């Protein structure tokens, strides 16, 4: 493999002009049957593949798809990425990932960097609630939002059913006789926390149960603070008999908190599944989102959008489902 074959090489070997090769490769314009055969043979013989840089320069955009996420090390995001990547790759394109690292400024820079590379489109999980820069045309290509709603403008979106999933969790606990159910989650300003809290609230209200302020914590940013919140609630007056944790990180903390007080058998449902949930004792009942499906769906939306940029934005909400494992089926057990 001394030098890479170019259109010209193929043209020479096939005895036609480079434009004809281009036509065969891209399926543009009519080509005679016999010519096409000759050209294909030449392409195979030389192992020709078009140079993406040259094409990008000429047509003004790359055929890679950019992915902007907060943190690839987050298991949910990593799995989402796997779904996206497999679909995009199956379409013969590449994924270029960039992390914003929870910093809106970084995120903006990442998007600009991708825009500058003229990616064909971007799949984005915006960090901040205010991504006005996106509306200002920082990205001039198709945009698909995942796990975050579009705020200031409308575009293709894939979400999972945050509210419905949380309602499911609460209804499950209520069905098992619980009347004092706590909610432990990340900052309420986050889109997902907010919707999950609404679902929780709706289920309690529908069952005629009060939503008690001291049973709601939405300021928990890591496992440690979730564990602390759990301890405080259990130690306080009127402790809950069941806890819903609103995301995987919080769940780990809640579990730690519960394990420290093994005498009180408090029921627990986690929003979002996590590795090892079934290895715990009791195994953790969870509301399962399907990050792989979310990723695939987002990628499909993108591919369709690239194919046909017109048409109204589509908003897809993927269902969640309850996976019963044990921790969510514990009966209410009054420690008082």
Q: Which positions lie near a copy of itself, rule CB under 8 A?
A: 1, 49, 51-54, 56-57, 62, 64, 71-75, 77-79, 81-82, 85-86, 89, 94-99, 101, 110, 113-114, 116-118, 137, 140, 223, 248, 252-253, 255-256, 259, 262, 274-281, 292
Rounded CA separation 193/245 (Å): 10
Closest to DNA by CB, 56 vs 86, is 56
Closest to a copy of itself by CB, 84 vs 174, is 84
Which one of a copy of itself, DNA, none is in contact with 29 (Cβ closer than 5 to 8 A by kind)? DNA
Rounded CA separation 208/51 (Å): 65
CB of residue 122 vs DNA: minimum separation in angstroms? 20
As to burial, measured by CB atoms within 10 angstroms (0-12 exposed, 13-18 middle, 19+ buried), residue 256 is middle
Q: Are 127 and 110 in contact (CB under 8 A)?
A: no
Which one of DNA, a copy of itself, none is in contact with 22 (Cβ closer than 5 to 8 A by kind)? DNA
Rounded CA separation 124/274 (Å): 23
CB of residue 53 vs DNA: minimum separation in angstroms? 7
**Structure tokens belonging to residue 321:** 């489902």
Beta carbons within 8 Å of 332's beta carbon, 6+ residues apart: 176, 177, 178, 179, 180, 241, 242, 267
Which one of DNA, a copy of itself, none is in contact with 280 (Cβ closer than 5 to 8 A by kind)? a copy of itself
CB of residue 111 vs a copy of itself: minimum separation in angstroms? 12
113 binds DNA (CB under 7 A): no
Q: Are 320 and 289 in contact (CB under 8 A)?
A: yes
Q: Which residues ranging from 23 to 62 are in contact with DNA (CB under 7 A)?
A: 23, 25-26, 28-32, 34-36, 48-51, 54-55, 57-59
The strands making up 267-271's β-sheet, listed across from edge to edge, are: 216-218, 181-185, 242-245, 267-271, 285-288, 321-323
Closest to a copy of itself by CB, 28 vs 51, is 51
Closest to a copy of itself by CB, 119 vs 242, is 119
Contact pick of 18, 94, 293, 306 for DNA (by CB under 7 A): 18
**Gyration radius of the chain over CA positions:** 26
Rounded CA separation 300/84 (Å): 8
Binding site for DNA (CB under 7 A): 3-4, 6-8, 15-20, 22-23, 25-26, 28-32, 34-36, 48-51, 54-55, 57-59
């Amino acid at each position: 493999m001394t030098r890479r074959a170019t259109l010209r090489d193929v043209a020479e070997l096939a005895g036609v002009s480079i434009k004809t090769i281009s036509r065969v490769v891209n399926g543009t314009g009519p080509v005679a049957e016999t010519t096409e055969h000759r050209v294909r043979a030449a392409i195979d013989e030389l192992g020709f593949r078009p140079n993406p840089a040259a094409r990008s320069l000429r047509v003004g955009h790359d055929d890679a798809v950019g992915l902007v996420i907060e943190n690839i090390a987050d298991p949910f995001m990593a799995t989402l990425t796997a779904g996206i990547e497999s679909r995009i790759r199956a379409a013969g394109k590449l994924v270029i990932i960039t992390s914003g690292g929870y910093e809106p400024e970084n995120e903006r820079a990442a998007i600009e960097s991708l825009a500058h590379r003229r990616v064909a489109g971007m799949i984005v999980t915006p960090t901040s609630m205010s991504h006005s820069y996106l509306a200002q045309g920082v990205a001039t290509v198709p945009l698909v939002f995942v796990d975050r709603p579009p705020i200031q403008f409308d575009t293709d979106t894939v979400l999972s059913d945050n509210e419905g999933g949380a309602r499911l969790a609460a209804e499950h606990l209520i069905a098992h006789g619980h009347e004092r159910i706590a909610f432990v989650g990340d900052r309420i300003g986050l889109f997902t926390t907010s919707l999950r809290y609404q679902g929780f609230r709706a289920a309690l209200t529908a069952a005629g149960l009060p939503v008690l302020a001291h049973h709601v914590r939405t300021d928990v940013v890591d496992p440690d603070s979730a564990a602390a919140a759990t301890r405080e609630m259990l130690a306080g007056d009127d402790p809950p008999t069941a806890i819903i944790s609103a995301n995987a990180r919080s769940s780990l903390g809640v579990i730690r908190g519960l394990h420290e007080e093994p005498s009180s058998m408090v029921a627990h449902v986690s929003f979002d599944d996590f590795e090892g949930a079934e290895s715990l004792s009791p195994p953790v009942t969870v509301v399962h989102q399907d990050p792989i499906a979310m990723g695939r769906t987002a990628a499909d939306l993108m591919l369709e959008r690239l194919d046909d940029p017109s048409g109204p934005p589509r908003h897809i909400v993927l269902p969640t489902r309850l996976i019963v494992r044990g921790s969510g089926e514990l009966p209410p057990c009054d420690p008082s």
